[in-house]
Amino acid sequence: MRIDSIELCHVAMPLIYPWRTAYGEDANGESVLVRLRSGEWEAWGESAPLAAPCYSPEWAGGVFHVLKEWLAPAILGQEIASGEQLQARLAHFKGNPFAKGALDTAWWALDALRRGLPLHRALGATRDAVPVGADFGIMDSIADLLAAIRQAIEDGFPRVKLKFRPGWDLDMLRAVRREFPRQVFHIDCNSGYRLADLEMFRRIDDLNLAMIEQPLAHDDLVDHAKLQAAIRTPVCLDESITSVERMRHAVELKSCRYVNIKPGRVGGFTAAVAIHDICRQAGIPCWVGGMLESAVGARLCVALAMLDNFTYPADIFPSSRFYRRDLGTPELTLTRAADGTPQVAAPDVPGIGAQPDPELLTALCRQRAILE
């Protein structure tokens, strides 16, 4: 299909509560939405790298500029027949996976729409719904956290993820395990530790966690392999997996036993599906992670999560978790499986069945550009 026009919107979406992690605090979810048009068809993609370069080296304002100056002009007016062709047109630009992911997710959504296919079918999925987990950032007190976890368990969430950083670490985790001895938990360190903290990770082995997510540096594979060899708890990589090549290296080095795949972080669906397939081949289960996307970006994640090697419950949240009014419409809501487990369902409509609300998009837009 020929790419006739590309619209870019850098948005800041006010969160109900600040999102606190090992790298800091976010008051807004910042993302870049991309509208691709081909003839009479148009579809949206989204990439949500956050406001500051603290999760990864990319940030929403930078992604907007890289797209506007370099990546979008490279595909405007071009015939692009596949995700591989799109990536080939962008390959001479180094890195910048979140920026590439904005175009790549939009291309896949547009292609699915034109073919009359739901996006998850176009990606190769056979499921229509998958379970989701609960996820808690750093709170004001351990009592607040325990109350929130109790509610999540009552609501039937199959696993609970806890943000973990110096000062909100072993004492918190021991208190949680004492209170909830049988629940499935894992922690996300957001690259807040070093291999010198090995003794602390050895002590975590006694707490029977499902995994430790991204304990070490955001761009490391080697020290993660050393840590994984020294502890029983599986290591899960998030920040470190930014491309298909990085995934191949992680398998070779034995850096992890789980992978969290986010379409933006790896450069879009073309790479996300390839990484999913490499992991399946290597016997590494995956799960889909979330950033602070609108309901448009969250539905892109929902579509990806339907692939069959995503066997650990996803980090995909209903709109009401973060936003008073979601920029994406319709809002994303959770449904329940027959056994009551909270889940997300992929709609049986061409594409993703969602787009930004035009008025809200204008209100929340920090920068906008149209290339045609």
Using CB under 5 A as the binding rule, whether residue 169 contacts Mg ion is answered as no
Shortest reach from residue 272's CB to Mg ion, in Å? 15
Are the beta carbons of 211 and 185 closer than 8 angstroms? Answer: no
In terms of CB distance, is 158 or 215 closer to Mg ion?
215
- Residue with smaller CB distance to Mg ion, 107 or 310: 310
Minimum CB separation of residue 238 from Mg ion in Å reads 4
Q: Give the Cα-Cα-Cα angle 149, 152, 158 (nearest 5 degrees).
A: 110
238 lies in the binding site for Mg ion (CB under 5 A): yes
Q: Which of 334, 284, 338, 344 is nearest to 314 (CA)?
A: 344
Q: Binding string to Mg ion for residues 211 to 230, with x set by CB under 5 A, is what?
A: --x-----------------
Report how many residues bind Mg ion under the rule CB under 5 A. Answer: 3
In the complex, the smallest distance separating the C-beta of residue 175 from Mg ion, rounded to whole angstroms, is 22
Answer yes or no whether residue 46 interacts with Mg ion by CB under 5 A: no
163 tagged catalytic: yes
**Which candidate in 68, 100, 161, 163 is catalytic?**
163
The answer to whether 262 is a known catalytic residue is yes
Nearer to Mg ion, 13 or 187 (CB): 187
The yes or no reply on residue 104 touching Mg ion (CB under 5 A) is no
Tokens 């304990």: give the residue.
215
Q: Which stretch binds Mg ion (CB under 5 A): 94-102, 154-162, 186-194, 338-346?
A: 186-194
Q: How near is the Cβ of 262 to Mg ion at its closest, in Å?
A: 8
Q: Which stretch binds Mg ion (CB under 5 A): 70-78, 143-151, 185-193, 344-352?
A: 185-193
Window contacting Mg ion (CB under 5 A); options: 14-22, 103-111, 234-242, 353-361: 234-242
Confirm or reject binding of residue 326 to Mg ion (CB under 5 A). Answer: no
Tokens 């204008």, residue located: 362
- Which of residues 111 and 213 has its CB atom nearest to Mg ion in the complex? 213
User: Which residue number places its CB atom closest to Mg ion?
Assistant: 238
Task: For the CB of residue 60, give the shortest distance to Mg ion in the complex, in Å.
Answer: 18
For Mg ion, which is the closer residue by CB, 50 or 327?
50
Least separation, in Å, of the C-beta of 256 and Mg ion? 12
Residue 188 engages Mg ion in binding (rule: CB under 5 A): yes
Give me the residues that bind Mg ion (CB under 5 A), please: 188, 213, 238
Q: Which residues are catalytic?
A: 163, 262
